[in-house]
Chains A and B, each alone.
Chain A
Amino acid sequence: MQAKEEYLEEYDRLADNLSGFKNGSELMDYVLEKTLVELNKETDISEKSSLNEESVQERLQDLGYME
């Protein structure tokens, strides 16, 4: 993952305040990795409602209403 140079500084600062991270770029990689794991989990979004919310969401994105 190529992080923009100028934002690494921000990440470094955050990493200093969070125990367990060597530096900003480790923090950045961690954020990305966990995100991908979470996204790959099967979700239960349609359980609560009879509406297929994922499909509604896609249609609304196609209409330029959501992004």
Chain B
Amino acid sequence: MTDRTVYVIGIDGVPPRLLDEARSGGFVENIDHLKTIGASGTTKTVVPPLSMAAWSSFATGRDPGGHGIYNFMLRKEGSYDTKFADGNIIHQNSIPIWDYLDERGIKSGVMNLMPGYPPSESDGFHIGDLVTSSQSSEFMYPPELKDTVEQNVANYELYPYSPYTPDKSEKDLQNYLSDLFKMERIRMGTGKYLINEKDCDFYTYVFSGSDSILHCLAHIRDEDHPHHEPELVDKYGKKPLELLEMYDEFIGWLFEQSNEEDVIMILSDHGHSSVYHQINLNSWLYNNGYLELKPGIETSLKVVGYNYVYDAFESVLHKLGLFSKLKNLVATSDSEGESKKSLKDLVTISRFDYDWDETTAYTIASGGQIYLNTQKNHPLGWITEENYDSIRESLREELLSIRHPDTGEFVIDSVYYGEEIYGSEHSETRPDLAALPSNNYQIQYPQTMKTNEIFSTPPKPGNHTSEEDRNGIFVAAGGGSDGADVEMNIEDFAPTSLALLDIPVPSSMTGNAREDIFNLDAESKSYDGRVIAKRAVRKVSKKLRK
């Protein structure tokens, strides 16, 4: 065992070009310094480049097929129902790095890493992420940590801001920025406090303000954006760089207090770009004969109801604060949830209206992943092994030929086969195709479908779903790190961190301990069973203590 501490700092959603801009503008002197003494380059992330799947691959050292977290929304095995990704699922499906460390008696400290709720109970501390945790839930482990942080740092608020969109006022923008920066200052303070107080050998913190600010301010920085607000450029155009400057202060502090054995790695889980246009994939599948709705008067009522009447009373729902409630009911209810059916039956077209006997392909989440209705993995699937390839191939070709009606541009840039990008450990719920949009396009899955609306305006000016957005940043110092323009894979961080701590790399990890970037002597070993046994022990002991 070494005296080394490994720090991995995630700055969510930062594209390499933004870091370059920050460097040339003098916003990130500390990161710049690490770059000169260590290694730098890019981090290649998962398909599609979405945080939930990316951070899961980061934590487990496996591609999404290895942990089954393909997206924020997941398909339930052998069913058409869906569920949100959460901390339980990643632990059930796979083994994150902190469990391997825990098995070796090594403490780890984790803050704001998706999916972080419920927080892991491995040795050290674990603070849940801002998507899966809610303020009233017990999102910190150990539970008393919440009070400790509040007494010594500040009240840790998971989500204290209301995101800015172009339809809001400048005052709203100011409030958003002030709340966001304050949230990040408290996260940094919490992170520093816990590094000082807890004796962990591995820390991983994710700062997500960068992702939010790029979602919300993309149109201010991009003068070609259809929603560009030129009058805001001078005052707010540099805000993302100022946020990086704030993170840079934290990196500087980290470097100051570290010793020469220690290793600091900085990454982002994906890039970010402006989005101008959106394709609603379920509506496209419907209009192109891949997705069928149930025949009969009830469904036709809804087709009319949702497409037309719904537009008319959407504003009423908004006023009554009921709009998000409706969407939530549709997003999360199961087909068994009889009590909820009446509402959905009245107004919305959702997956409950699909005619599964006639449906060829469907999607359950944004990001371009498509499932074929196969006999093998679906209750009412009809696609057999014999016709699978030809159906998939013709769908793939059709996707690649979609053009936007206004711009004439190709909407989809590439379509991957599921087995090409995802391992087979969770193949029962593995998407059959994954389409990535062209630059400035977004592939969306509205929970409720307007059958006549294939193309629409994206809900946020910035997003990350294209091939280009698969590139994040990478900077490292310590551990013999060396090299410019190196390419880390998001799955490499866990095995590399383990090897840096002189711990064998589990053979179940698909990522690599990067001996070409760090000074490592990585040993590969199969020991997942030990981790599973340790978990069982922890569970039983907990019961006994009660």
Residues B118 and A50 in contact, CB atoms below 8 Å apart? yes
Chain A residues in 8 Å Cβ range of B215: 63-64
Binds A, one of B29-37, B248-256, B322-330, B469-477: B322-330
Closest chain B residue to A28, Cβ basis: B309
Q: Is the interface of A mostly helix, strand, loop or mixed?
A: helix
B163 located at the interface, meaning its Cβ lies under 8 Å from any Cβ of chain A in the complex: yes
Chain A residues in 8 Å Cβ range of B309: 3, 7, 11, 28, 31-32
Q: How far is the CA of A56 from the CA of B463 in the complex (A)?
A: 18
Residues A18 and B459 in contact, CB atoms below 8 Å apart? no
Residues A3 and B312 in contact, CB atoms below 8 Å apart? yes
Q: How far is the CA of A58 from the CA of B324 in the complex (A)?
A: 7
Chain A residues in 8 Å Cβ range of B83: 49
Contacting B at CB under 8 A, from A37-56, are 38-40, 43-45, 48-56
B444 located at the interface, meaning its Cβ lies under 8 Å from any Cβ of chain A in the complex: yes
Residues B322 and A39 in contact, CB atoms below 8 Å apart? yes
Measured as residues with beta carbon below 8 angstroms from the partner, the interface class of chain B is: 35 or more
Q: How far is the CA of A47 from the CA of B528 in the complex (A)?
A: 33
Chain B residues in 8 Å Cβ range of A67: 327, 444, 446-447, 459
Q: How far is the CA of A54 from the CA of B322 in the complex (A)?
A: 12
| Selected contact of A39 from candidates B308, B311, B325, B447, CB within 8 Å | B325
Residues A57 and B328 in contact, CB atoms below 8 Å apart? yes
Interface-centre pick from B311, B334, B346, B460 (highest chain A CB count, 10 A): B346
Chain A residues in 8 Å Cβ range of B137: 50, 52
Chain A residues in 8 Å Cβ range of B193: none
| Selected contact of A53 from candidates B163, B332, B366, B446, CB within 8 Å | B332
Interface size on A, residues (CB 8 A): 43
A-B pairs under 8 A by CB, number: 131
Interface-centre pick from A56, A58, A61 (highest chain B CB count, 10 A): A56
| Selected contact of A65 from candidates B72, B130, B326, B328, CB within 8 Å | B72
Q: Given contacts A31-B347, A36-B320, are A43 and B297 in contact (CB under 8 A)?
A: no
Residues A1 and B312 in contact, CB atoms below 8 Å apart? yes
Chain A residues in 8 Å Cβ range of B527: none
Residues A63 and B212 in contact, CB atoms below 8 Å apart? yes
Q: Given contacts A35-B346, A64-B459, are A18 and B329 in contact (CB under 8 A)?
A: no
Residues B326 and A39 in contact, CB atoms below 8 Å apart? yes
Chain B residues in 8 Å Cβ range of A57: 324, 327-328, 331-332
Chain A residues in 8 Å Cβ range of B460: 63-64
Q: How far is the CA of A48 from the CA of B336 in the complex (A)?
A: 12
List the 10 closest pairs (A to B, CB-CB), nearest first.
Answer: A64-B460, A52-B134, A38-B343, A55-B134, A7-B308, A39-B322, A64-B459, A53-B332, A57-B328, A10-B304
Show 14 A/B contacts (Cβ-Cβ < 8 Å), sorted by A. A10-B308, A28-B309, A38-B343, A39-B326, A50-B86, A50-B118, A50-B137, A54-B324, A54-B328, A57-B327, A64-B442, A64-B460, A65-B50, A65-B72
